[in-house]
Homo-oligomer: A and B are copies of this chain.
Amino acid sequence: MSLLKRAEQSLASCFEGAVGKAAPPRLVEAMRHAVFSGGARIRPQLTLSVAIACGDDQPQLSDAAASALELMHCASLVHDDMPAFDDADIRRGRPTVHKAFGEPLALLTGDALIVMAYQVLLNAGHAAPDRLLALMQNMTSGVGLPDGIVAGQAWECEPRADLGRYQRAKTGALFVASTCAGALASGREAQPWYALGACLGEAYQVADDIRDVMGLSADLGKPTGQDCLHTRPSAASELGLGGALDYFQDLIQKAVDSVPACTCRGMLQHLVRNESERLVPSAAYSAYRMPGVQPAAALSA
């Protein structure tokens, strides 16, 4: 089974196990809309691939850890899309949750998904309470204060924010939690997997900035020009587009190099390179180096 298929199936199964019977039907429908909408599932795939590299002796726990982190990611997207932040109408080519279900249910959908993420871990069984508690701590660090994704989003509301810190929190923290979770679910130390998550997470955020400036975000089903619109910190505005593209490539290389020696090293490096190509296609990169050619035009040519 491919990593993506395993991630998808685990998520569906964990969701059903946690949603319970007799919950408010429209809330459940809105949660499904938020979660099952063709996401790339890069975070749970990272968790699962690291778990496999670490032996994956409790696959049910790896599945739960991967799914819980994806639920947190989906929760953050629902709240980020709301009018108070991005005011986005479209996500992954479909109406955002508040557009499809209204703001009250969108607010509750995010809340419910955060709580469900913990429920999914609790449902994984208490055969290894130490691993379970470590996974909960790991997920909580990735989401909460002082450096998780909620803090990252909050830096946008501060008069001053350090770009590196902002990006590490806004995106990096959940990538770090995703790689570390794979190790923790398999009873291993998380530390050797920290750099992979940190580099990939920062690369992801820089790619987002690049795509925003290059007008490529529509390919990911999102509106473009959002960073400038909201005057949030951006690598593209701080380093210039060329600098941001170089920085992105450096981060991807660092991520590839950071994968610890293990039987799955090739698979993990392949996953990172695939994701890099999906985020910033090399055609767009080359187009930028060709004077007079619009990157988006080059891509659609």
Contact = CB atoms under 8 A, between A and B. Distances in A.
Given A19-B146, A146-B22, A154-B27, A103 B84 contact: yes
B104 A145 contact: no
A271 interface: no
A19 B140 CA distance: 12
Contact of A114 (B18, B105, B115, B156): B115
A114 B112 contact: no
Q: Please state the number of chain copies in the assembly.
A: 2
Contacts of A130: 126, 129
Interface in A75-90: 75, 79, 82-85
Interface residues of A, number: 56
A157 B111 contact: no
A58 interface: no
Secondary structure at chain A's binding surface: helix, strand, loop or mixed?
helix
A282 to B, nearest CB: 36
Residue in A19, A23, A75 whose Cβ sees the most chain B Cβ within 10 Å = A23
Contacts of A144: 18, 112, 115-116, 118-119
A148 B26 contact: no
Interface string A55-80: 00000000000000000000100010
A151 B84 contact: no
Contacts of A52: none
A77 B278 CA distance: 41
Interface of A: 18-28, 75, 79, 82-85, 102-108, 110-112, 114-116, 118-119, 122, 126, 129-130, 132-133, 136-137, 140, 143-148, 150-151, 153-158, 161
